[in-house]
A = this chain, B = another copy of it.
């Protein structure tokens, strides 16, 4: 695979996509969905090759499960493409516009980035999802999946490209980058021919892309999320939010990893311990929490810094609101931070002083999600401050250009 010619084909395709009308892009998404369903047998057979190889090399069962496709999962991919077709097209939106005193008219208009590279891990369904998001937002996609899913990805991309072609869109709008690690290095070095790079996966992958890439990166980060129960927290609300944020789906980035309780609320410490324990959560607590129950295990040094992504939680009693904010500043990853309080000033200070993509008052951090925000699609949750912060959807897959129109005006 010659990266330079692949990137050049992507640039050419991006020009067709950039000026495609919504109806063309939606027709392409529907054709991609149809084509994927028609190719189901080929996709499952290719996936079987990947799964057998993973099993033969001793890959852990949960990872093999993520790699495995089924008729249901293929149908899910097709449904995802159809759902994208129903969403509004961000391209062409006029963000703002005005007329200068000299009559020159200025409009800031949403346009696609151009060529978007997406680097992701084992789940082959990301292939269809990422391709669909790029097509809908008018970007050409360079997909770099995991080598462990290569046979599956080749079959999926072949089906998607057949769909594009059937809809009259150049198939080079979606290209898969196969080959060894040097291809990833070429992709990360392709400043100018690739406009934006988005890593989707674990912390290791993201760190490698962020530090190695010369192409601008949108970082989708890890979530060491805190829940602070303030002095005036309603106990029923506090427990309901805590259980939801910890146990509703512990493996995701918006699940809570540490609970902080104000020292004046010994009642809450006891109830938190009882309810979490009943829900099967292991509490890694400080001395105050350990006094509340022998079931609380001692928090180790460094315990407050990582994500568990399991039914574990770190727990600490803080002396004050300021102590809680200081703890979050020292240990948070800037993803989602929550306060439960009935004190208006505390709520205002928390939302102003805590520096995170999403700050929540009296509700669950599980709402930090493109679907829950009502966006319809989600590329990931950005924890960086440049370009996009928080759940990213189709508008975040675009740039803008200024269109300036005059009738011969010149600058005095």
Identify the A interface with B (CB < 8 A): 15, 18-19, 98, 100, 104, 106, 108, 111, 113-114, 191, 195-196, 210-211, 214, 216-218, 234, 236-237, 240-241, 243-245, 248, 347, 351-353, 355-364, 366-368, 372-374, 384-387, 389-391, 399-411
| A410 partner residues in chain B, CB cutoff 8 A | 240-241, 243-245, 248, 363-364, 366
What would 8 A/B residue contacts be, using CB atoms closer than 8 Å? A100-B374, A359-B403, A363-B404, A363-B405, A363-B408, A364-B410, A367-B406, A390-B402
Residue of B nearest to A405 (CB): B361
Which has the most chain B C-beta neighbours within 10 Å: A217, A218, A402? A402
Q: A353 to chain B: which residues have CB within 8 Å? A: 15, 18-19
Which one of B195, B248, B363, B385 contacts A195 once the chains associate, using CB atoms below 8 Å?
Answer: B385
Chain B's closest residue to A340 (CB) is: B408
The answer to whether B404 and A18 touch across the interface, beta carbons within 8 angstroms, is no
A-B CB proximity, top 7 nearest: A363-B406, A244-B410, A385-B399, A366-B411, A387-B387, A237-B408, A216-B386
A363 touches B104 (CB 8 A): yes
User: Which of A113, A211, A373, A406 has most chain B Cβ within 10 Å?
Assistant: A406
Closest CB in chain B relative to A302 CB, distance in Å? 17
Please name the residue on chain B nearest to A237 by beta carbon.
Answer: B408
Counting every copy of the chain, the complex holds 2
B358–A401 touching, CB < 8 Å: yes
Q: Assess whether A386 is in contact with B385, with CB atoms less than 8 Å apart.
A: no
- Min CB distance, A281 to chain B, in Å? 16
Known: A351-B403, A366-B410. 4 other contacts (CB 8 A): A210-B214, A357-B401, A373-B402, A390-B400
Q: Contact: A389 with B385, CB < 8 Å?
A: no
Contact, CB under 8 Å: A367 / B104: yes
Instruction: Name the B residues within 8 Å of A108 (CB-CB).
Output: 390
Question: Are B409 and A364 in contact (CB-based, < 8 A)?
Answer: yes
Contact B19 A409 (CB under 8 A): no
A374 neighbours in B (Cβ, 8 Å): 98, 100
In the assembled complex, the Cα of A364 lies from the Cα of B412 at a distance in Å of 11
Residue on B nearest A354 in the bound complex, by CB: B401
- Min Cβ gap A206→B in Å is 12
Give the residue name and chain of the B residue nearest to A189 (CB): B211
Q: Which listed residue (B240, B360, B373, B399) contacts A386, Cβ 8 A?
A: B399
Q: How far is the CB of A365 from chain B (nearest CB, A)?
A: 9
Q: How far is the CA of A406 from the CA of B404 in the complex (A)?
A: 43
